[in-house]
Amino acid sequence: MIETIRFWAIVVLLGFGVLFTLVSTVGVIRLPDIYARAHTASQTDTLGAGFALAGVALAFGWQHAAVYTVLLLFFVFITNPTAAHAIARSAAETGVEPVLADEGAETDETETATETDGEP
Amino acid sequence: MTPVPLEDVFLAAAALFVVLAIAMFYRAIVGPTTQDRLLAVNVLGTNTVVILALLAAGLDQAWFLDVALIYALLNFLMSIAISKFTVERGDVL
């Protein structure tokens, strides 16, 4: 009974880990600029890796490998948002301009305007 | 009883993480700025750490966790060093 509960808890934790990593992979590939990508990349580092490593720690049980895994989880939790912040700040200091929503709307309007101009 | 062995669950999750890490190579290759590539490599490194931990549980080789710990440390140092390296005399932290 307790083994079945542990099994399904591990399956749910690993499923959430894969789900959050999938979301942030789609985000890093599809979002428009470095700042939005840094936001979604730090999401995979905290939630995706966090859930997956929690599943691993639960599978090891009371051994010192579980302590290693919790240490690894703690380390990943602290360092990866810091790294994403450093990357975004270095992008800001080297002059990468963020893509604003207003600019995107304007280009859409001009595109549709040129299309309606071109049609007649 | 459990429908499949627990080791197979870990190996399947590791395979899914490998697929997502390969998809992340797209941003590392086409990323327009250096920081885009660096961010993609950073996320790839985190995925590698998770894959190593999943393999440690799936193959029952606990020493993989040592490799994962060192890999996480080097990954963090690489991100900080390169992002500091791209800024001229700036502090990024």
Closest by CA to A27, choosing from B22, B75, B51, B24, is B24
pLDDT confidence tier of residue B50, bands split at 50, 70 and 90: very high
Question: Is the Cβ–Cβ distance between A61 and A10 less than 8 Å?
Answer: no
pLDDT of B15 > 90? The answer is: yes
All structural domains of chain A with their residue ranges: 2-118
pLDDT of A113 > 80? The answer is: no
pLDDT of residue A103: 58
CA distance A52 to A48: 6
CA distance B18 to B26: 14
Using the structure block, give the residue that is written with the tokens 């590392």: B28
CA distance A12 to A30: 27
Q: How many Å lie between the alpha carbon of A116 and the closest alpha carbon of chain B?
A: 32
Higher pLDDT, A114 or A30: A30
pLDDT of residue B93: 61
CA distance A73 to A51: 9
pLDDT tens, position by position, A52-95: 999 999 888 888 888 888 889 889 888 888 888 888 888 888 87
Question: Is the Cβ–Cβ distance between B55 and B10 less than 8 Å?
Answer: yes
Three-state SS letters, A79-96: HHHHHHHHHHHHHHHCCC
Nearest CB to B9; choose among A14, A49, A71: A14
Q: Is B62–A60 a contact, with Cβ atoms under 8 angstroms apart? A: yes
User: Looking at residues A102-113, what average pLDDT do you find?
Assistant: 49
Residue A57: half-sphere exposure toward Cβ, Cα within 13 Å: 16
Closest CA in chain B for residue A68: B65
Q: Is B33–A96 a contact, with Cβ atoms under 8 angstroms apart? A: yes
pLDDT of A117 > 60? The answer is: no
Q: Is B42–A14 a contact, with Cβ atoms under 8 angstroms apart? A: no
pLDDT of residue B71: 92
Question: How many C-beta atoms lie closer than 10 Å to residue A7's C-beta?
Answer: 19
Q: Which of the residues B44, B50, B86 would you substitute to probe the A interface, choosing the one with the greatest number of A C-beta atoms within 10 Å? A: B50
Q: Which of the residues B7, B9, B22, B65 would you substitute to probe the A interface, choosing the one with the greatest number of A C-beta atoms within 10 Å? A: B65
pLDDT of residue A112: 44
pLDDT tens, position by position, A21-64: 999 889 888 888 888 888 888 887 788 888 999 999 988 888 88
Q: Which of the residues A56, A85, A89, A94 would you substitute to probe the B interface, choosing the one with the greatest number of B C-beta atoms within 10 Å? A: A56
Question: Is the Cβ–Cβ distance between B28 and A76 less than 8 Å?
Answer: no
pLDDT of A110 > 70? The answer is: no
Q: Is A28–B62 a contact, with Cβ atoms under 8 angstroms apart? A: no
Question: Is the Cβ–Cβ distance between A17 and A49 less than 8 Å?
Answer: yes
Nearest CB to A86; choose among B6, B62, B92: B92
Question: What's the mean pLDDT when you consider all of chain B?
Answer: 87
pLDDT tens, position by position, A9-23: 999 999 999 999 999
pLDDT of residue B92: 63
Q: Does ipTM top 0.90? A: no
pLDDT tens, position by position, B74-87: 999 998 888 888 88
From chain B, the residues in CB contact with A86 under 8 A are: 79-80, 83-84, 92-93
